[in-house]
Structure formats: structure tokens, C-alpha cells
Structure 1
Amino acid sequence: MAIKYVPYFPTTVSGQAVLDNFVRTQRILRYRESDKVTERILRGMPLYEVTETERVGEDASDNMIIHGECVSACAYLKEKGIKVDLVYIDPPFASGADYAKKVYIRRNPLVAKAMQQAEQELEDDELKAFEEKMYGDIWDKEKYLNWMYENLMAIRSVMSENASIYVHLDYHIGHYVKILLDEIFGEDNFRNEIIWYYNNKMSGNPTSHAFVCEHDSLYLYSKSDENIYNVIQEKRLETVKQAKRIKVDGKNMRARDEDGNIIYEDSDEKKIKDVWQVPYIASTDTQRTGYATQKPEALLERIIKASSNESMVVADFFGGSGVTAAVANKLDRKFIHTDVNINSIQTARDRLKTNGASFAVKKVQDGVTLYRNPVQTKDAITRIIPGLRIDPTIGSMWIGSIMDTTYGSSPVYVPDLMDSSSRVLDVVTLNRIINDALPQLPPTVKRVIVYYIDIIDRQDLDDFIKDNNDTVIEIELRDLKELLDNAILQDDVEYNVSEDPSKMVDIFAVAITRFYSDRVSHKIKAFNQKAMANSKKKFVPIELSLEGLEAIEMVSLDCTTAKENAPWHSDSEIKIEKDSTVTINGRKTSDFWDGTIHADTKPLRMKIRNICGDETIKLLNL
């Protein structure tokens, strides 16, 4: 449950949080449930406990990676009095697409060394891999806009007075979001619509009867008219003659000689305007992290240089691959990377560590411990609710039903995890269930089950049901967190620790002898079944060895603290890349992993990350 609710503004401005009324121009833009959005805005941002899970580098106090949703991350920042000077967000585009992470099976490190290297290695196009969903960009337009409105309101509440925000979208939903931006930041604070033009990406429109789309849009707004703006130059293709410009009484004038003639000078640079031609990241580019929606560093470098100065705080609340944080760090800015997806957190963490950045990794304890990403959590819920049968024909409010001998068929409501605001069960939701959903159910229904993740006051909800439910249908409230907590299976690892008797190079060596991940095994099984059913030629299924070390992506040793819940210190670390070569403490090598990790001091804890992104921490028995 949220500790408290943090106001979006020090005192809520009357009329500010109204989605359907654009007061300045008297335009009306109405969406379903906009009154519900207003109520949540007035209530404030839910503030959860935030714990530090890892500290990287010497001075990590100012830089943060936050695993959590935008609104809850902003609540934390606002509670701590942290202001951001520049925001770039690349939120879901409402494109209707599913985005997946390709998961690669690593090379077995325990194969006999006598085998020829050619037999051990696989070509890139033959790497054994499968995919798992990271998030689904499939939205009902009204839900998306309500969701974006709350996120933008939260972001605005933590922006400094001279801050700017870049909102990166495309043709699917950008024109609608611009109207929200006008309302939240003010039409007078709109600065630019920047066109990012790329001609090296495979793009297309929904039909073949249209021009091919080769651009995205970035909407630039400022918090006030005191925003930072630095002129950015780019190289010309050819040097040109250009009139020299000087300041005269504060005015920009052409420079002239003693005879009044205009002075010309050679120019090989020009000011960047609002159409940016920046190449998309090629599949072979060394920037590639394997993250589906990764953006090029050159794009973020231009944004950060134009709208911030050194030592300022740059934030990305849909951080993805971590490009914003990586470029901000390179340009001597402070950074805040936030994402709800654990794969994003790990990708950004590894990227920043390799770049030598110092930062703290924090986790929003919002009660959804299975929340690796919204899609997978939603899929997991449908499996872990005992007796649940998925049935979309019952009605849009219900995910399915549960059958028992006492009540018969009981429709089940589960909060939409794609919409963070639905986590809090409130009287608005109950009112919809009672007045809209219950009357549509068959007369044989005696009970409905309403799962929740968070509530403000259980007694208030019970009283509301008692006072407003005029039907004969019983409403039973259940805590979804109890199911989620019991659904997590930790990975199992066997190892042995030895001390180097020579004490000349490495003192301690930890050898992994066996590793088993229930999640990875289920993902591989599901992939094999689907691929075998759809394959038109002989299909060779993915299989793991008895040792299972092919399912390991990273091993880290903490030689600093043995406390179970203390922040992690990665004193020694090996990451097994998708081609099975290893990166040791941020240094890439061409070597293969031999199943061991070394430390020059006594290791106290070991963390193992599997190829799907789950991490397991073990206290070492020495």
C-alpha cells in the first residue's frame, strides 16, 4: 500500500487537472472516465517505499536508476525535493505492436576443452534464441491519453523552472498528446515540433496506398520562458561565404568595414533547425544493446546539449535502453533513468557500468513483486489465480470466472497493470462495477470476485459496497499481492568456492556447477511447442544441458557486505554476452566463460542473472 499521496503541486490549482476542458481556448475534448483521472490527480501521486538495491561506483548519490513506474518515481523525487532540469521521454507510441526481447542461449562452459573451437561456436544467424514479450504497445485511445495525462502531470511536478521536456512520438497518437501538452505546460510554452528524419530504417504506413513514413516527432515544451537553450551547430557539406554577425546595442547586425561594406567570412557550420537528419541505429552498430526501441546516441546528444548545461539533472521516465542516461553521463550531466521493465533496468545498469558511471539502483516497492514487465505480469496473473477460466464473453470488466460448488460461476475482476492508476481500488471503480457491470450479468451469478493491488481504506470500500450494491450479487474483495508473492520461484544454483593456494593472482574462485531456472525452462518449453507446431521443416528444439549453465547471463560477487537486503556491491562481475564471449568488470574480451568467477577478496554474496533477466542472490557458505 502507498505510504501516502504526494500532491502534484504544492497546493492543487483549481481547474488545472481537468482533462476535458481547455479553458484558454474554450475547446472541449472529452474522453471516457476523465472524471476518474481528475479524482486521481486531486488525490495525488502514490508514494511507495523505495529501497536501494545496488550502488555502483564511488559517488552514486546524484545519479539514479529507478525500477518503477513514472508516477511513483516522480512521487519519490518530489518527496525528496529532487528537481530535474531536462526531461526526454520515449513512451509507448500506441502503435498496436508487441515488443519482445530476443533471449539467447549461451555456450555451455563445461564442454570438453579438447573440442575444436569451430564445433563450439555458432554463427550469428544460428545462435539459439527465443523471444519473450517486454511490453505490449496496444492501447485503447482513451486509456492511453488518460494514462499519459497523469504521467505528464507527474513529470511537470518535478521539473525545475528552467526545465524543458521532449516528448518523442509518431503519427499514431502524437497529435492527441500535443493537445494534452498544451493544457499541462501551456500553449505559450510550446517551443518546437522537431522532426527526426531517418532514411536508413525499414518503415511503412498501414497500407500500401500512402507515402512511406521516415520520421518521428519530438514535441518540445518548457516549464516557463526561462528555459535553457544552447545554439547547436552542425557541419555543412561545403564551406560557404557568410556575412559576419555582431551585436550592436543588443541587436544582431551584419559587420561592416570602414567603408561600409559587408564583411564576409568562410563558414563550415550552420545552426541546427527543427528537422534533424540523424541515422537510425544499424543492426551491426556497436551501440546496439538488444533493446527493441533503442534510439541513437546522436539524437540524445543533440537534445542534451541544446537544453541543459553541465551538472544539470537529465531524466528519462521511460528509459528503455538507457541511452539518455548514458549520453547525459558522457556529457557531464547527472541522470535519472526510470522504467517499469526489469530488462530496461538491467540493460541501462550494464551499459552505465561499462561506461564507468557511478549511480544507485532503486526499487519502488509497490507490492507487485512479479512485475518484470506489464505483459508478463498480466500473463502470470491469469495462471496463478486458482481455478480461473479466461472468458472474454462475460464482459469487458471481467477477465474470466471461477467455478465452485457454493457460488457456481463467479466473474473475476483484475486491475489492468498496463494502467498504473488502476492498481488502487477506489469507489470510482467499485461504482462502475456495481452500476455498469453487475446489471449485465446473468441472473444465475451469485458472487463476483474483485482483486486489488492497493487500497486506501478497506472499511470505506466495504461501506460503499453495503450502501450502493442493491443487487443480490455478493462482491468479494481479494488482495492480488498475496498470489503474486507466492508465485515467484527463485532460481536454484549449486557451486563451490576454492581459495588459490598460490595467492599470486586470484585468491578466491567460485565455480558454478549447476543452475536451474523454472522461468527459463517454461519459456523454452513453450517456444519449442509453438515452433514445432508451426515449423514446415524439421525443427531442432532448444535444449539445455543437465548443468544448465547456458541459462546464465551474468554472475556478480559482493565482497563488501553479507547482509541479505543490503544494497548490492559488484566487486567482481562476469557478463556472458549473446555470442558467449565474456565481459569482465566492464572490459569486453573474446574469451569464453569457463563457469567460474574470481575475486581477490573473500566473496560474501553471489548474484546470478538468468537469460530472461531474473536475478537470484545467494549468501555464500565458505
Structure 2
Amino acid sequence: MPKIMLADNLDALRGMPDGHADLIYIDPPFNTGRTQRRTRIRTRRTSHGEGGDRTGFQGARYETTAVGTRRFDDRFDDYLAFLGPRLVEAYRVLAPHGSFYLHVDYREVHHCRLFLDDLFGPDHLLNEIIWAYDYGARPKTRWPAKHDNILFYVKDLSNYTFNVDEIERIPYMAPGLVGPEKAARGKLPTDTWWHTIVPTSGAERTGYPTQKPLGILRRIITASSNPGDLVLDFFAGSGTTGMAAHELGRDFILVDNNPEALEVMAKRFESVSGVRWEGLDLPDGTEAGAWRTR
């Protein structure tokens, strides 16, 4: 049964049995040293094309109003002192045939890789995936940083899931060089993934800071789990991992200790039946939507 928990993830992990999860994906805070914020706005077209604070199509004027800001602190004096105990517990909770994905950025990836090499064994790192995107500021004093790192480890090199035939194919960059049959089929993605961020005005957008695209999680879950498997994300944020798992017929456990994250997930999963909610102090049988209004 899918489950969403409001809890400290270290406590939650310690309450899980050995080998419980078939796939673990986490996207912990990146230790940027900043408070991450995402402000949602509402726009209203002004009358007679006057006033407002922004211009739209064909010169129409619009007035914007902030309707809410979500935030969390992303700063740690010793990142691995915070993350390390959680990685150790995750290794214990991961099934013997399981796969583990750690999504992080250039500030901490080297420290995390050395830690995970000790935990899993350096040969058990199958890939360092680069998720490349193109958005945001472009500093003039260095090359703009436009990628994240995703470390992919397995517990057992001779027994793990990788559904190569189920992974969506991508277009060849030079289809004329491979012939029409191969061009029509497309190619397997490499360890460099070009994928847009969540569109600002797209239906997928929840307003939660650092929300990751469903397409990234669909690819990971499709490749490294099977229908009916249990997917665990203990830095759940906006719940993208759980939504992708649900779409693909997997079970899931999501954990986060930020009430704002639970508010986002409650809205996102209100049409998903059978979700258990823990740590919310709600009466038995209460639907997820009650979390938003309590």
C-alpha cells in the first residue's frame, strides 16, 4: 500500500525492516547555503490595456499578485554528518537486488561518491548520470552551471533490475548516419540526460522549490524497478517520485519532515486512492485533502 509520512527521515528509516525497498531514489538538499523559495503568482488582465506590472501577447497588460511562498533552508555546516547516517540506513533498507540513486549537485557530489564507494563498494557504482538543462541566470565570471549529478549504485552486481527494453528511446542527433530503421526506433539514452526543468506554467508545476520533472523519475523507475515493486524516497519534497511510481504501477513510500511538502503532496495525491498517511494526527479514514484544510 502506498504511504506518505510526515517524519524525520532518519527515524522513519530506522523503523523499516532490512531489505524493504526494491528501489531508492533521493534528492536531498544540495547544501547551497541559501533558503530555497518558490513564490506562486496569479495574473489578471487589466481593462483597456492600462496599468498592471507586466506586458503579454500583443501588448496586453497584466497585474500579478503573489498567492504564496514555499521555502526550506538548504545549509549544513557538515553535509555528510547530516546525510551519512541516512545513507547507511538506506543501504540496510535496500533489498539485496535493489538499486540506489542519489541526486545531488557539484558542490557535494565528490564527497557523497567517496562515502557511497565505501558503503556499496566502488565497483558498485554503475553510472554517474548527468542531467543537463538550460535555464536561469548566466554569470559572466564562470561557465554557467546547468547540470545535476545522479549517482547510481547497486548492491549486487550479478542480481539487479535494469529493464533496457522498457526505457523510452531518444532521437539520434544525426539520423541520416544510421539509416531509416534505426532512426525511426531511436537510441538508448546514455549517461547524459538532456531534459527540461518543470515548466513554470505547466500542469506539472506544484510550486514547491527544487521540484524535479516527472520525466526524470519515470526513466529511473522504469529502468530500475518492476511493476509491484516498492520505491522509497525519504526526501520526498513535492512527491514526484511517488507520482511517477503510481503511474508506472509501483508501490511507494514517501517521507518528508516539512509540513509545506505534505501540503503539496496532499493536493497532488488527493485523486490517488489507498494512500496511507502517517504523522499527520488525522482521524482514521480521513482523506489526504483534510491535511490541506485542518
Q: Is the 1:241–1:265 Cα contact (8 Å) retained in structure 2?
A: no
State the distance in 1 between where 2:23 and 2:138 align.
31
- Rounded to whole Å, the distance in 1 between the matches of 2:41 and 2:176 is 51
Alignment-derived partner of residue 56 in structure 2: none
Residues 235-284 of structure 1: CA deviation (Å, up to 9, x unaligned): 325655759xxxxxxxxxxxxxxxxxxxx954421111100001111211
Which of 210, 218, 231 is matched with 2:150 structurally? 218
Which residue does 2:286 correspond to in 1? 569
Which residue matches 2:57?
Answer: none
CA distance 1:305–1:193, change in 2 (3 Å):
same
Change (3 A) 1:608 1:303: closer
Distance in 2 between the 1:131 and 1:329 partners?
27
Aligned equivalents of 2:227, 2:21: Cα separation in 1: 13
Higher fraction of strand: 1
Q: Which among 271, 276, 287 is matched to residue 360 of structure 1?
A: 276
Instruction: State the one-letter code of the partner of 2:207.
Output: G
Matched-pair contact (CA < 8 Å) for 1:329–1:357: no
- Counterpart of 2:55 in structure 1 is none
Pick aligned residue for 2:100 from 157, 160, 165: 165
C-alpha separation in 1, matches of 2:93 and 2:242: 17
Structure 1: runs of 5 or more not aligned:
1-61, 106-122, 244-263, 365-563, 574-606, 616-622
Structure 1 pair 149–309 and aligned structure 2 pair: CA distance change class (3 A): same
2:64 pairs with 118, 123, 126, which one? Answer: 126
Judge conservation of contact 1:102–1:131 (CA < 8 Å) in 2.
Answer: yes
Runs of 4+ in 1 over 6 A off after TM superposition: none
Q: What does residue range 56-95 of structure 1 map to in structure 2 within 5 Å?
A: 62-78=1-17, 83-95=20-32
From 80, 84, 96, give the equivalent of 1:145.
80
Are positions 1:332 and 2:267 aligned together? no
- CA 203–219 in structure 1, closer or farther in 2 if over 3 Å, else same: farther
Matching of residue 229 in structure 1 with residue 162 in structure 2: yes
Note closer, same or farther for the CA distance 1:171–1:75 as it changes in structure 2 (3 Å cut). Answer: same
How much does 1:77 deviate?
Answer: 1.7
- Partner amino acid for 1:566? P
Q: How well do the aligned residues superpose, as a CA RMSD in angstroms?
A: 2.6
User: Which structure 2 residues correspond to residues 28-107 of structure 1 after superposition, within 5 A?
Assistant: 62-78=1-17, 83-100=20-37, 102=39
For residues 163 and 291 of structure 2, the distance between their equivalents in structure 1, rounded to whole angstroms, comes to 44
Q: Does 1:289 align with 2:222?
A: no
User: Which residue of structure 1 lines up, in the alignment, with residue 264 of structure 2?
Assistant: 347
Give the Cα separation in 2 of the matches to 1:90 and 1:333: 19
The structure having more radius of gyration, on CA atoms, is 1
Q: Deviations over 1:593-621 (max 9, x none)?
A: xxxxxxxxxxxxxx5746xxxx3xxxxxx
Q: Across the two proteins, how many residue pairs are aligned to each other?
A: 271
Equivalent-residue separation in structure 2 for 1:347 and 1:331 (angstroms)? 21
Distance 1:146 1:240, change over 3 A: same
Measure, in 2, the Cα distance between the counterparts of 1:330 and 1:172.
32
Instruction: Indicate conservation of the 8 Å contact 1:203/1:214, yes or no.
Output: no
Mapped to 2, the partners of 1:124 and 1:303 lie a distance apart of 40
Which of residues 175, 179, 185 is equivalent to 2:120? Answer: 185
Tell me, in whole angstroms, the C-alpha distance in 2 between the residues paired with 1:273 and 1:155: 26
Contact kept, 8 Å, 1:240 with 1:266, in 2: the verdict is: no
1:463-474 alignment runs, 5 A limit:
none
Paired residue secondary structure (2:169): strand
Using the alignment, how far apart are the partners of 1:71 and 1:608 within structure 2?
23
Q: Give the letter aligned to residue 119 of structure 2.
A: I
SS at match of 1:71: helix
How far the C-alpha of 1:165 sits from its partner, in A, is 0.9
Partner residue in 1 for 2:51: none
**Distance of 2:19 and 2:253 partners within structure 1:** 10
TM-score computed with the length of structure 2 as normaliser: 0.83
The Cα of 1:188 is off from its aligned counterpart by 1.4
Looking at structure 1, the residues matched to 233 and 110 of structure 2 have their Cα atoms a distance apart, in angstroms, of 21
Identity of aligned residues (%): 29
Task: Tell me the amino acid that sits aligned with residue 227 of structure 1.
Answer: Y
Distance 2:20 2:110 in 1: 28
Give the corresponding residue for 1:322: 239
C-alpha deviation, 1:154, in angstroms: 0.9
- 1:522 maps to what in 2? none
Aligned residue type for 1:127: T
Q: Aligned partners of 1:337 and 1:265: how far apart in 2? A: 41
Partner-residue secondary structure (3-state), 1:194: strand
- 3-state SS of 2:227 partner: coil
Change (3 A) 1:229 1:291: same
Q: Tell me, in whole angstroms, the C-alpha distance in 1 between the residues paired with 2:193 and 2:239.
A: 21
More helix by share: 2
Distance 1:104 1:215 in 2: 27
- CA 1:608 to 1:211, structure 2 compared with 1: closer, same or farther past 3 Å? closer
Q: Which residue of 1 aligns with 2:136?
A: 202
- Cα contact 1:71–1:155 (8 A) shared by 2: no
CA distance in 2, matches of 1:319, 1:68: 11
Aligned partners of 1:162 and 1:228 also within 8 Å: yes
One-letter amino acid of the structure 1 residue matched with residue 34 of structure 2: A
SS of equivalent to 1:196 = strand
Using the alignment, how far apart are the partners of 1:336 and 1:345 within structure 2? 13
